[in-house]
Amino acid sequence: MTTLVWLRDDLRLADHPALTAAAQDPDGLIVLYVLEDASEHVRPLGAAARWWLHHSLVSLRNSLERHGIELVLRRGVAETVVPAVARESGADRVLWNRRYSGARAHDANIKAALREAGVEAHSTPGDLLFEPWRIANGEGNPYRVYSAFWRACTSGLPPAAPLDPPETLTAAAASVDGDALESWGLLPHAPDWSRGIAERWTPGESAARDKLTAFLADGTQHYARRDFPAERTGSELSPHLRWGEISPRQVWHEALRAGGDVGLFLSELGWREFAKHTAYHFGPLESRSLDPRFEGFPWRTVVADELRAWQQGRTGFGIVDAGMQELWQTGFMHNRVRMVVASLLTKNLRFDWRIGEAWFWDTLVDADEASNPFNWQWVAGCGADAAPYFRVFNPDLQQKKFDPESRYVDRWAPYSAGLPRILDLKTSRAEALQAYQSITR
């Protein structure tokens, strides 16, 4: 039997259920990645994510070549491409790890088309600790509150143990043509804005493993100070998890094996899980508010100069400007600061949360179709287990509490103190609360 393995957000060899199953086939396997940037079923990637994808595919291609396997690249709609590659290669079976977004209906159509053509098609567990249909409340409904959700997750059987990478992989006899990665144009054209991202990050499975090992060896003892952005005490695994260069099962089990106080760290993995379960049951999250009242919320008409000041880190609020500069220069922003900049946009400026979500989608290397809108909705007050709308992050107080010596601000936005502020915090907060009252009457 010859098996075609269709990759998506699972660019690794270890703990890859579909690849492990395919490795047993005597007639060998073919590995395929499809760039679906023009499919109505898949959200087109932002610029920073495209940069990461390019380098992650290079890393994966090199890993596969060491096993004598070619990574076949095709651009197009998977519903057309996957059956076509199966025909060209003479594959008897197609395997993939599941997606849990709205694209799962798309995957079901592909599975049905393959089976109708006489090709076996199976999906295996994907990038979650727990399958979404297995976690439900007493009434059989999905959870809307994180604490109850995470208790349900952690009170039953633990996540499955991760799979070792296959020791050997055998290439199928058939040769299949693919695209040259460079022809996809994933990297920026001149001017090249990615230098800071390249200095901060190394995409790929090996780098992901190294980052986890280093964090578990030393970082967990400092994790309680993860809210202090100048200290970089977080794991910084989010882009590696987003692209599936490491699985949440690997992170979970290795953290427990390392010992120490890892409960807080694993709860952050649980928050990622909660976002993806919410997207599975209620998505797509980027297009509408989970709280339907907010579809009638009186968002302000966007003022171009104000939005541009927020995007460019020129608001006059130090911690906000520093966060937006860190984002622009490195494709990443500290989690505490993400909440502060999102609050300023959605509550003080009172611009629709979708505007900020779209900016993050384009500029974050870890932009995830579940977590990114889920977190924006949480800050805006319209999502699952959302922060109350009246919780408005005061950027001055946040900076005083979490960057008291201005080390973070001085690194990323030392100019900010000399800028005029684009709004008055007290007035804008009062106006936001009044707007909120209009949808709660």
pLDDT in tens, the chain (441 residues): 899 999 999 999 999 999 999 999 889 999 999 999 877 888 999 999 999 999 999 999 999 999 999 999 999 999 999 999 999 999 999 999 999 987 788 899 999 999 999 999 999 999 999 999 999 999 999 999 999 999 999 998 999 999 999 999 999 999 899 999 999 999 998 889 999 999 999 999 999 999 999 999 886 778 888 999 999 888 999 999 999 999 999 999 999 999 888 999 999 999 999 999 999 999 899 999 999 999 999 999 999 999 999 999 999 999 999 999 999 999 999 999 999 999 999 999 999 999 999 999 999 999 999 999 999 999 999 999 877 888 899 999 999 999 999 999 999 999 999 999 999 999 999 999 999 999 987
Whole-angstrom distance between the N-terminal and C-terminal Cα of the chain? 64
CB within 8 Å of 97: residues ≥ 6 apart: 8, 10, 16, 17, 18, 123, 124, 125, 126, 127, 244
- Closest listed residue to residue 267, CA positions, set 290, 251, 286: 251
Q: What is the pTM (predicted TM-score) of this model? A: 0.96
CB within 8 Å of 310: residues ≥ 6 apart: 320, 324, 341, 344, 345, 349, 422
**Cα Rg of the chain (Å, integer):** 23
- Closest listed residue to residue 46, CA positions, set 308, 360, 377, 376: 360
User: Is residue 145 within 8 Å of residue 153, measured between CB atoms?
Assistant: no
pLDDT at 103: 79
Token pair for residue 401?
A: 């509490």
Residue that has been written with the tokens 């008409």 in this structure: 301
- Closest listed residue to residue 314, CA positions, set 424, 431, 414, 408: 414
User: Is residue 343 within 8 Å of residue 435, measured between CB atoms?
Assistant: no
- Closest listed residue to residue 186, CA positions, set 61, 72, 45, 328: 45
- Chain center to CA of 427: 35
Question: 287: exposed, middle or buried (C-beta count within 10 Å: 0-12, 13-18, 19+)?
Answer: exposed
pLDDT at 440: 84
User: Is residue 50 within 8 Å of residue 182, measured between CB atoms?
Assistant: no
User: Is residue 7 within 8 Å of residue 31, measured between CB atoms?
Assistant: yes
User: Is residue 374 within 8 Å of residue 383, measured between CB atoms?
Assistant: yes
pLDDT at 261: 85
Q: In whole angstroms, what is the distance from residue 286 CA to residue 211 CA?
A: 30
- Closest listed residue to residue 380, CA positions, set 344, 327, 425: 344
pLDDT at 389: 81
Q: Domains, the chain, ranges and CATH? A: 1-126 (3.40.50.620), 127-160+205-282 (1.25.40.80), 292-440 (1.10.579.10)
Angle 371-181-47 (CA atoms, 0-180°, nearest 5)? 35
